[in-house]
Amino acid sequence: MAEEKIRVLIAKPGLDGHDRGAKVVARALRDAGMEVIYTGLRQTPEMIAEAALQEDVDVVGLSILSGAHMALLPKTVQLLREKGLDHVLVVAGGIIPDEDIPKLKEAGIAEVFGPGTSTQTIVEYIRNKVAEIRRSRKNA
Amino acid sequence: MFDKEALKKIKERQEQWEETTLQQWLARLPERDELFRNLSDMPIARLYTPADIPDFDYLEELGFPGEYPFTRGIHATMYRGRLWTMRMFSGYGSAEETNERFKYLLKHGETGLSVAFDTPTLYGYDTDDPMAEGEFGKCGVAVSSLADMEILFDGIPLDKVTTSMTINAPAAILWAMYLVVAEKRGIPWTKLGGTIQNDILKEYIAQKEFVFPPKPSMRLIVDTFEFGAKYVPKWNTISISGYHIREAGATAVQELAFTLYDGFEYVKAGIERGLDVDEFAPRLSFFFNAHNDFFEEIAKFRAARRIWAREMRNRFGAKDPRSWWLRFHTQTAGCTLTAQQPENNIVRVAIQALAAVLGGTQSLHTNSMDEALALPSELAVRIALRTQQIIAHETGVVNTIDPLGGSYYVEYLTRKMEEAAYEYFRKIDAMGGMIAAIEKGFPQKEIADAAYRYQKEIDEKKRIVVGVNEYVSDEPITIPIHKIDPEGERRHRERLARVRRERDNERVRQCLERLRNAAQDEKENLMPYILDCVRAYATLGEIMKVLREVFGEYREPIII
């Protein structure tokens, strides 16, 4: 049986209008054969968690360049978990200082992709991680 | 300019050269496997000669600086008369911190101010609005009321320094705050110089900090044109911006074409209001990006001047030569800064800034090396400013006007940029103008395509980005990273609460009500009503709430 397509929600939390990276990543994931849903701008953590639930995604990719990541990203993960979406892989990208990354990881962001990351790196990471998550859910 | 006989000889000699000298070289040393294309994806030839611009007409295409079509520059003396304004875009945290940064920059030789506002301010929310969560002071300074504006410009001579404000949807309100600060200090508005960005079309296209739908947005903009022409004659009431279009991933051609077309829309809107084009057009200004491809950028700036002069004269019938001038600010390209080996950014910025100067800019911001990591530190911003001072005082490029004019390559490329821009104009004309094109998602899609293509070229190493996909190093970053004072937000919120407590709230209510009524009547100019709200210390969020209720909010088509 063919492997089920990976479904990804790309979201822009907060008031940040910089959507170049989000769109480039969305296209790259789509070109890599994934199903991609893009939320558009100005999403609150609540809106993102709700969309993730409705769209039944495997991955949520959060793009943020405004500097508000410490306020918005952990909150988004928390809301996802509250909705029972424990299996959803959450990754982030944007302008995020190195020193914030351990704190974000502790809050449940699996990986942070900074400026200069190639799209292949992101594609491969998501493929491997989702495969891992799917395997462990099957065995559970 | 070249006589036919001479051109024929050049062509013959070139053919000979290709068959002999060049062939021998290629046989021995083939050309590198490179794209040899510029960032607009135009193929670039090995060599340019007069044969590439055979019908070149000096007087028609270049003329003289300060004269139509201004290709060589809008002023007759250019930098021999006055250097460009060194204007560093800055702002973070609370008004106190940014005021301190302004004074620091002025002390180090900056010649104009440029304010960056934080995202809640850009969207017209007060800092304590739930939508503003986590955003205070991150991308700029927070200004929620006149009280913040008073502190922001404390001790700065508003009649001597010009100020540019990057503000769009709520531009009329922030401008009103600035005007009231001057008023309270007894400085007449006729002495104020500066710019509000106030360019909503590029927000829909690229920067995405829109609030209202296009129609009421255009009305507010024309209100500022009309008000400015009458009461603040030295103020640029708009800065028609390609910068953000480029940052969103556009090519140089797209930046040029979409920006100028946005300009046409604003001129049309002013004329439709019944304004005389020569009354407001001299106060329209522009803002471009200086990206990496050196000659392409210079050609873009030169083409922009030529197109604008022609269209203002022919399409819109402007008669005052000042209406034909394309005056522009430039910022080096933020999107070219790398987080890896950030010191390399100093070099990128220097080269981009040089392109802006050779392109004839009126004002310039140079990015700081650390901006892919954080807001600029004092050290980084000082080096960025010094870069401009080095170009101005040490390189000698300011000694003569348009030094690249007449270069076969630059003239060829200037023409190509121009032709490619007109191709876009025709497409947008056919769609019924820029607003219709935006609603169709046309410019957004063009930009997203270009951004994706560019990223793929980098991922596939068809384009080298030093320190990112080649010449990579694992050495840790050692430059200092700027931190925002955590006390700033508390200070700001306390001030906001105090303003709401101490002002005459009945007066505020009445001012907001009068604004609401005026907003509902399309014939009213809203500036006087906004000024009254500001004088009464109505907050930005309160004023914007009234306008949001009357005008509604824009929802963009989602385009990947």
A20-69 pLDDT tens trace: 999 999 999 999 999 999 999 999 999 999 999 999 999 999 999 999 99
The tens digit of pLDDT for each residue in A65-102 reads 999 999 999 999 999 999 999 999 999 999 998 999 99
- Asked whether the beta carbons of residue B120 and residue A17 sit closer than 8 angstroms, the reply is no
The Cα of B450 is separated from the nearest Cα of chain A by a number of Å equal to 10
Fold that domain A7-139 belongs to in CATH:
Rossmann fold (3.40.50)
Establish, for the pair of chains A and B, how many residue pairs have beta carbons separated by less than 8 Å. 97
Determine contact: A113 vs chain B, CB below 8 A.
Answer: no
Establish if B128 touches chain A: CB-CB under 8 angstroms: no
Is B372 in contact with A28 (Cβ distance < 8 A)?
no
pLDDT, position B206: 96
Query: What pLDDT is stored for residue B395 in this prediction?
Result: 98
Strands lying side by side in the sheet with B238-241: B235-236, B194-196, B163-166, B112-116, B85-90, B363-365, B328-332, B284-290, B238-241
Predicted confidence (pLDDT) per residue in B11-29, tens digit = 999 999 999 999 999 999 9
DSSP character string of A89-101? EEEEEES--GGGH
Mean pLDDT of chain B: 97
Closest residue in A to B450 (Cα) is A24
pLDDT, mean of residues B359-376: 95
For chain B, residues classed under CATH 3.20.20.240 are 59-459
Report domain extents, chain A.
Answer: 7-139
Chain B residue at shortest CA distance from A120: B459
Tell whether the model's pLDDT for residue A1 goes beyond 60. no
Contact between A72 and B138 using a beta-carbon 8 Å cutoff: no
- Residue B483: the pLDDT is 83
B337 pLDDT exceeds 90? yes
The closest CB to that of B459, out of A71, A98, A120, belongs to A120
Of the residues B122, B126, B129, B139, the best mutation for testing chain A's interface (the one with the most A CB atoms within 10 Å of its CB) is: B139
Q: What is the pTM of this model?
A: 0.96
- What's the pLDDT tens digit per position in B183-215? 999 999 999 999 999 999 999 999 999 999 999
Q: Which of B269, B279, B271, B200 is nearest to B241 (CA)?
A: B200
Residue among B131, B138, B255, B470 with most chain A CBs within 10 A, to mutate: B138
What does each C-alpha distance from B115 to B88, B122, B142, B189, B192 come to in angstroms?
8, 11, 11, 19, 16
Q: Quick check: A20 and B248 CB within 8 A?
A: yes
Centre a 10 Å sphere on the Cβ of residue B150 and count the other Cβ atoms it contains.
16
Query: Bigger pLDDT: B211 or B484?
Result: B211
In chain B, residues with a C-beta closer than 8 Å to the C-beta of A55 are: none
B209 in contact with A, Cβ within 8 Å: yes
- Alpha-helix runs per DSSP H in B3-94: 4-17, 23-28
Query: Which token pair is B2?
Result: 């070249």
Give the model's confidence band at A2: pLDDT under 50 very low, under 70 low, under 90 confident, else very high: low
Cα(B459)–Cα(B9) distance, integer angstroms = 45
Q: Does A68 touch chain B (CB under 8 A)?
A: yes
Note the pLDDT tens digit of each residue in B217-274: 999 999 999 999 999 999 999 999 999 999 999 999 999 999 999 999 999 999 999 9
Helices (H), ranges, B51-205: 95-107, 119-123, 146-152, 171-184, 201-202
**What is the ipTM score, two decimals?**
0.93
CATH fold for domain B59-459: TIM Barrel (3.20.20)
Q: Does B448 touch chain A (CB under 8 A)?
A: yes
All residues of chain B having their beta carbon less than 8 Å from the beta carbon of residue A14 are 119, 133-135
CB contact under 8 A, A14 and B373: no
Tell me the shortest Cα–Cα distance from A52 to chain B, in angstroms. Answer: 17
> Cβ of A111 under 8 Å from any chain B Cβ?
no
C-alpha closest to that of B493 among B133, B103, B250, B79: B133
Beta bridge mates, A113: A93
The CA distance from B32 to B556, in Å, is: 44
